[in-house]
Amino acid sequence: MPVASSTVEVAQLFNETYDRVGWYVGDDTFVPYFNPSNSAITFLPGEFVLRQFGGTGVQEVMMVQDAIQPGQWGQMARYFAADVACNFSANVILGDEVMWDIDNDVVSLAADVTNGFIIGRASIALSAKPVGLDAPTVDGSDRIVCATSSSTKVRVISIPHTDITPKGTVTVY
């Protein structure tokens, strides 16, 4: 039922008499990236990029959110959980570091990559309600197997704030 605006009490903010020091706009999950006009490279959605972040030259892995054409701004995610195409030569255990193979655009084990970089740790995809799911496959030490040599996708969770050393020939953006 409508009421006269003069009778409605307005909520008071805490410390409203103080000047605001800053305005919260979000966390640092997404960071902007400008793709130079002369780059001749389009960054594709879901692509993993080794990016120089900060004045000290730290190299962090980021995941492109939408296509970033030359001369355009876009967003890259510093924190992610992503299901990614993979090609493994052996079992991958929960928490194993996995690499982005830039020659084949798949996640692989370090031993199988000539040019690439660690993008995160292997995880397992569970439904929102894991009750009633079958027991996971485990190895001889009772560790959960996330992927095998016949897997086509693996869930990868980022390792934020980690300085990554590339293997082989990798462009750092």
114-158 pLDDT tens trace: 999 999 999 998 877 667 777 888 889 999 999 999 999 999 999
Long-range pairs for 22-28: beta carbons < 8 A, 24 or more residues apart: 28/78
Which class for 170: exposed (0-12), middle (13-18), buried (19 or more C-beta within 10 A)? Answer: middle
Domain range list for the chain? 24-157
- Per-residue tokens: 173: 């953006």
CA distance 173 to 73: 14
- The total of other beta-carbon atoms located within 10 Å of residue 109's CB is 20
CA atoms within 13 A on the CB side of 56: 5
CA atoms within 13 A on the CB side of 9: 3
Q: Tell me what pLDDT residue 160 has.
A: 84
pLDDT at residue 2 tops 90: no
pLDDT at residue 1 tops 60: no
pLDDT band at 15 (very low <50, low <70, confident <90, very high): low
